[in-house]
Amino acid sequence: MVLRAIRLIATLMLSVIVVAAVAWAAMAIWFDGPHSRILATPMAAGLVIICIVLAAAVRPLLRGLVVALFPVIVVALWWTAIPASNMREWATDVARTARATFDGSKVTIENVRNFKYRSETDYDQRWETRTYDLDRIKGVDLFLSFWGPTEIAHTIVSWDFDDGQHLAISIETRKQKGQSYSAIRGFFRQYELYYVVADERDLVGLRTNHRGEQVYLYRIRASPAQARALLVDYLNQVNQLADHPEWYNALTQNCTTTIRGHAQNIGAGGNLDWRLLANGHLDELLYQRDQIDTSIPLEELRSRSNITEKAKAADDSPGFSARIREGLPGISG
């Protein structure tokens, strides 16, 4: 009786796994297989039929379910071998990859984006070469940008230098010309991983002034040494991607999980938490971990950290970064 119950539970659990795996494999073929839907659709449907036939034909059922996973394994091996590329016809806002050159405490970065926007799609392209002194880093900040649902936000990390410079880096999808972002496609091999290394007026002003997003700014409690180590780790990855492109993935390689990876590399990653995925609650997680200002209640901190109207008022001002930080908790000087 007990053995039968165990077998039933194992069969049910494996059935769920097989259904999910087959669904993923079919979508992988449909999204990442032949560009022609005339070919991709019957191939995806054929995979599903083959798996169903195997599960039904092989007995006992538990063994049939295991055998039904074999075609999925074949698809997974093919899928993981699809190479990312830097050689595509890119959208103009992601057309260039940044590269950092270190010389002692100085770092020179090519292709820092500093576009002048008239609207989200109308802008003057400005790709700049800038030099920063890593010894002058005094802090690191986190932006949370909400475009609609409050459960999910886009995250941007920015470094504050004591000479008034700021350097922002946003981890995004690298879209080709005519390509738009799809949350479902983000789970497949549709977009390369891209680090936008930019001026804050570009990355933040674009969102507040032209996309209508709500943006919040928090100072992370990190020493200058930690902030410096984080930036160096980021820039090493920027160089790596310039030579060896990687795929973006909405679950494992997105704007927030990748930040955690960099933090782990410098020994500050913290434990996994559901709010790393539902990152609209990331400020709550950081508040509980005492990694942002905790001198006031969280709701008050959120209200005072909303820099949307300040950014709109600052617009293209040379003092953009200083103006959006006026009166923010946890930031002095």
For residues 43-52, average pLDDT? 97
pLDDT at 239 over 90: yes
pLDDT at 122 over 90: yes
The CA-based angle 136-319-222, given to 5 degrees, is 35
Q: Which residues make beta-bridge pairs with 117? A: 123
183 three-class SS: coil
Average pLDDT score over the chain: 95
Strands, DSSP E only, in the chain?
99-103, 106-113, 116-117, 123-124, 127-133, 137-146, 154-161, 166-174, 192-198, 214-220
Q: Which tens digit of pLDDT belongs to each residue from 181-192?
A: 998 999 999 999
The answer for residues whose C-beta is within 8 angstroms of residue 220's C-beta and 6 or more apart is 139, 140, 141, 142, 227, 286, 291, 292
For residues 37-63, average pLDDT? 94
Burial of 242 (0-12, 13-18, 19+ CB in 10 A): middle
pLDDT at 333 over 60: no
What confidence score (pLDDT) does residue 37 get? Answer: 86
Chain centroid to Cα 4, Å, comes to: 45
- Token pair belonging to 73: 């394994």
Amino acid 169 reads I
Is the bond into 42 cis (omega within 30 degrees of 0)?
Answer: no
What confidence score (pLDDT) does residue 199 get? Answer: 97
- Reported confidence tier of residue 10, pLDDT bands at 50, 70, 90: confident
Asked whether the beta carbons of 117 and 103 are under 8 A apart, the reply is: no
What confidence score (pLDDT) does residue 331 get? Answer: 84
**Nearest of 82, 212, 76, 222 to residue 157 by alpha carbon:** 222
Q: Which tens digit of pLDDT belongs to each residue from 124-141?
A: 999 999 999 999 999 999
Domain spans in the chain, listed from the N-terminal domain onward: 2-80, 92-324
- Token pair belonging to 56: 């039904």
What global pTM score does this model have? 0.93
- Reported confidence tier of residue 8, pLDDT bands at 50, 70, 90: confident
Indicate if the alpha-carbon torsion angle 156, 210, 85, 191 is positive or negative: positive
Between 242 and 330, whose confidence is greater? 242
Amino acid 148 reads G
What confidence score (pLDDT) does residue 72 get? Answer: 97
The Cβ of residue 317 has, within 10 Å, a number of other Cβ atoms equal to 14
The proportion of the chain whose per-residue pLDDT surpasses 90, expressed as a percent, equals: 89
What confidence score (pLDDT) does residue 168 get? Answer: 98
Between 91 and 318, whose confidence is greater? 91
DSSP type of residue 94? G
pLDDT at 64 over 90: yes
- Reported confidence tier of residue 87, pLDDT bands at 50, 70, 90: very high
pLDDT at 73 over 90: yes
Q: Which residues make beta-bridge pairs with 137? A: 161
Q: Which tens digit of pLDDT belongs to each residue from 271-290?
A: 889 999 899 999 999 999 99
